[in-house]
Structure 1
Amino acid sequence: ALGGIAFSPAVAFAEAPKRKPIYDEAEHYSPLPSAPSPPAILPSQPIQDNSSSNEDEQPSWTPTPTDRLAVQVGRARLFLYSVAVAAENKVNQTVDSAFDLEQSFTRTIASLAPPRESGEKLMPGAIYVLVAAMAGSILTRNRNVVLRATMPFALGVGAGWTVLPITMRNVSDLAWKYEQKFPAVAESHVKLREGIQKTISFAKVHREVGVQYVDDKVTDVREALENWVKQGK
């Protein structure tokens, strides 16, 4: 083994030849030149104002007749628009007030009618009231003006309270509601009603007194007749 190693040819490693670079070395550039310093402004040189010169160069604008006409037309259109809007609002308010008045009138008439469960009917009762008023007019045909004016009304109201009590109560409440807007009328109505109530109460008292007086007289006459009959026997 040692002999083989000794007699084996030696391998010589030669250094590779140095190759010349294809590209030359980068050239070294000099640094950028420094910017020149601005020139110094001498006190003797005044600074020019570009804005004032530009304003002097721009001419002043004056409106043409077409421009003035366009402005007037715009104002007229705005005025007409405002008038149209005001008229439309007025019409809407009028229609709304008319509709509210109609609704109020309908509700008022409906509130005067008696309820269904009461069994009171307007049609025959209203006919009876008209007949009573006409009868009062016929009875006072040859009387004075006061009776001819008051008797039909009194008989009609009396018939209404007799055949249509609920409806007359509703009418009375509605009339009182409107009378409260006028204190003088309401006060006169209250006084008149109190006077009528007092008159009715006095009439009832006198009627009771009269009935009692008649009963007493009838009783006395009956007792006298009974005594006379007993004495005759």
Structure 2
Amino acid sequence: MSFQPLLRQRAIAPVVLMTGAILYPKNTVHAESMELTHSIHDRKPIYDDTPSTPYAPPSTPSVPDTTTPLPRTSISTSPTPTDRLAAQIKRTRLFLHAQAMTAENKTNDLMSRFLHLESSFTSTIASLAPPKESGEHLLPGGIYVLVAAMAGSIVTRNRNILLRATMPVAVGIGAAYAVLPLTTRNVGNLVWSYEERYPVIRDNHLRLRNQISHVWQTGKAHSQMGLAMAEDKVEGVREAVEEWVRKGR
């Protein structure tokens, strides 16, 4: 009967220990264990002269960057048939493009020259017309000049070929100077501007004009002389008649 309390105490002791283990907080045990671990690592040895180094966690190995492209090894290969065909097509296209540009430039130059000639021709024809205040009319005046030239041709139809060739031109030019003086002067200046480009034609024209002017001046002087002689003879005849009439009285 004396051993029963001891047995009861031994049976209660495990229950109390298990209850304490269940109710005892785990964080306190963990904190104590962490403090114990740090105290162990931070403790300095007594006989160590080297300075203590702080605890450093092991570093993780660096992973190589796989995004950097690796250098390619140069391999000399001959061009493929596709590359040769592409190069030939490129040369053909460039040649055709150059030919098309050359043809386009030549066409543009030709059209520019044609437009320039057309503008020059129209401006030249417009410059030949007389001003409005001059009173000249091209339509009836031109008809008169043509009629005069045809009359000169009719008059010289039975003469030699030189006279038949020059007489209508001379009569037409004379009628033009008489009927359309301003227009004829403008045409003469235009012809002279073209003749100045050729020295041979210019010199011959000047020589012929001087000869015609000399003949004209000589003919005019002879006509004036003949007119004066005729007037003198008429005056002599008139005086003789007057003297004869006076004596008859």
- TM-score over 0.5 for the alignment? yes
Q: Distance in 2 between matches of 1:104 and 1:32?
A: 104
How far does residue 212 in structure 1 lie from its aligned partner after superposition? 1.0
Describe the shift of the 1:124–1:66 C-alpha distance in structure 2 as closer, same or farther (beyond 3 A): same
Aligned to 2:147: 131
How far does residue 142 in structure 1 lie from its aligned partner after superposition? 2.0
Describe the shift of the 1:84–1:32 C-alpha distance in structure 2 as closer, same or farther (beyond 3 A): farther
Aligned to 2:135: 119
Q: Distance in 1 between matches of 2:175 and 2:221?
A: 23
Describe the shift of the 1:60–1:32 C-alpha distance in structure 2 as closer, same or farther (beyond 3 A): farther
**Under a length normalisation based on structure 2, what TM-score does the superposition of the two structures give?**
0.71
Aligned to 1:223: 239
**Under a length normalisation based on structure 1, what TM-score does the superposition of the two structures give?**
0.76
How far does residue 59 in structure 1 lie from its aligned partner after superposition? 3.1
Aligned to 2:109: 93
Alignment partner of 2:212 out of 187, 192, 196: 196
Structure 1 stretches of 5 or more lacking a match? Answer: 1-21, 34-53
Alignment partner of 1:66 out of 82, 85, 98: 82
Q: How does 1:173-188 map to 2 (within 5 A)?
A: 173-188=189-204
Describe the shift of the 1:173–1:32 C-alpha distance in structure 2 as closer, same or farther (beyond 3 A): farther
Describe the shift of the 1:31–1:61 C-alpha distance in structure 2 as closer, same or farther (beyond 3 A): farther
Q: Distance in 1 between matches of 2:112 and 2:167?
A: 43
Is it true that 1:148 corresponds to 2:164 in the alignment?
A: yes
How far does residue 61 in structure 1 lie from its aligned partner after superposition? 2.3
Aligned to 2:53: 30
How far does residue 171 in structure 1 lie from its aligned partner after superposition? 0.3
Partner amino acid, structure 2, of 1:186: R
Q: How does 1:43-54 map to 2 (within 5 A)?
A: none
Describe the shift of the 1:58–1:208 C-alpha distance in structure 2 as closer, same or farther (beyond 3 A): closer
Q: Distance in 2 between matches of 1:152 and 1:98?
A: 35
Describe the shift of the 1:32–1:199 C-alpha distance in structure 2 as closer, same or farther (beyond 3 A): farther
Q: Distance in 2 between matches of 1:83 and 1:170?
A: 46
Q: Deviations over 1:91-115 (max 9, x none)?
A: 1101111111111111111111111
Secondary structure, aligned partner of 1:63: coil
Flag the structure with higher helix content.
2
Q: Distance in 2 between matches of 1:58 and 1:164?
A: 91
Partner amino acid, structure 2, of 1:30: T
Q: Which has the larger radius of gyration?
A: 2
Describe the shift of the 1:132–1:70 C-alpha distance in structure 2 as closer, same or farther (beyond 3 A): same
Secondary structure, aligned partner of 1:114: coil
Secondary structure, aligned partner of 1:120: coil
Q: Distance in 2 between matches of 1:203 and 1:59?
A: 104
Structure 2 stretches of 5 or more lacking a match? Answer: 1-31, 43-51, 57-70
Q: Distance in 1 between matches of 2:165 and 2:100?
A: 54
Is it true that 1:208 corresponds to 2:224 in the alignment?
A: yes
| Comparing 22-31 and 62-71, the one that deviates more | 22-31
How far does residue 208 in structure 1 lie from its aligned partner after superposition? 1.3
